[in-house]
């Protein structure tokens, strides 16, 4: 069933953040910082892949993501839903099911044998494609997926993620300059606002990173 009536964006963001805490998808640095997909270091990491193992939360968040995209982009805005390898694949399948649309996925690079394809599934010239991923930091990793979709003759002007870091001001511009709009459920700010009391001791370090990620990394490099 295609969802159409759901809470406000603010309430969905709050509930998404609570769910990420509930399944322990929020991870903190212990001895070494995490390396993000962008190659940059961070004292915190959101593991959205864990969501696929929690059916009730998974279903609710996919409803949230689907209705967010339709509210923002339109109810008849897409012909195909594409997932980015690998984390985006299950979420793309679940969104495609809700929107009653074909699903494809995009490889990070050609597989090196057979048709040497980057697109798996049926994608046709002229189709309007929504790229679904688990999260985005600075938006850079999405551009290769978008280009692979466009190389088929399809268009890709939107990407949807569960979690958006929301701390790198260049992200929206990076995607926008590439002709892509970003849709997301929550950011670090909602996650911090919903943090359980037992994590209060580490939130200072996290906030110092979130308010000045480049400064935090420079300080780490000097240690």
| pLDDT over threshold 90, residue 182 | yes
Alpha-carbon gap, residue 200 to 185, rounded angstroms: 24
In this structure, what are the phi and psi dihedrals at residue 104, rounded to the nearest 5 degrees? -135, 175
Q: How many CB atoms lie within 10 A of CB 121?
A: 16
Please report where in the chains the tokens 């260049």 appear, as a residue: 170
Q: Which domains does the chain have, with CATH numbers?
A: 9-215 (3.40.50.2020)
Q: Is residue 89 within 8 Å of 112, Cβ to Cβ?
A: no
pLDDT band at 223 (very low <50, low <70, confident <90, very high): low
Segment 36-87, tens digit of pLDDT: 777 777 888 899 999 999 999 999 999 999 999 999 999 999 999 999 999 9
pLDDT tens-digit readout, 83-109: 999 999 999 999 999 999 999 999 998
Mean pLDDT of the chain: 90
Closest CA to 183 of 157, 165, 160: 160
């Amino acid at each position: 069933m295609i969802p159409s009536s759901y809470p406000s964006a603010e309430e969905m963001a709050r509930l998404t953040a609570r769910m990420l805490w509930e399944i322990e998808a929020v991870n903190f640095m212990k001895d070494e910082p995490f390396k993000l997909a962008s190659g940059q270091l961070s004292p915190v990491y959101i593991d959205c892949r864990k969501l696929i193992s929690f059916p009730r939360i998974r279903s609710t968040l996919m409803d949230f993501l689907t209705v967010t995209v339709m509210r923002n982009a339109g109810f008849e805005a897409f012909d195909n839903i594409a997932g980015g390898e690998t984390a985006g694949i299950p979420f793309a399948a679940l969104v495609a099911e809700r929107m009653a649309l074909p699903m494809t996925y995009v490889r990070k690079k050609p597989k090196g044998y057979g048709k040497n394809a980057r697109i798996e599934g049926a994608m046709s010239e002229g189709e309007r494609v929504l790229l679904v991923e688990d999260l985005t930091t600075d938006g850079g990793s999405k551009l290769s997926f978008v280009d692979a979709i466009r190389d088929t003759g399809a268009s890709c002007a939107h990407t949807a993620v569960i979690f958006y870091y929301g701390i790198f001001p260049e992200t929206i511009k990076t995607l926008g300059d590439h002709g892509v709009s970003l849709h997301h459920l929550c950011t670090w700010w909602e996650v911090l606002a919903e943090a359980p009391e037992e994590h209060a001791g580490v939130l200072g370090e996290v906030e110092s990173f979130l308010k000045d990620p480049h400064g935090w990394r420079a300080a780490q490099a000097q240690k």
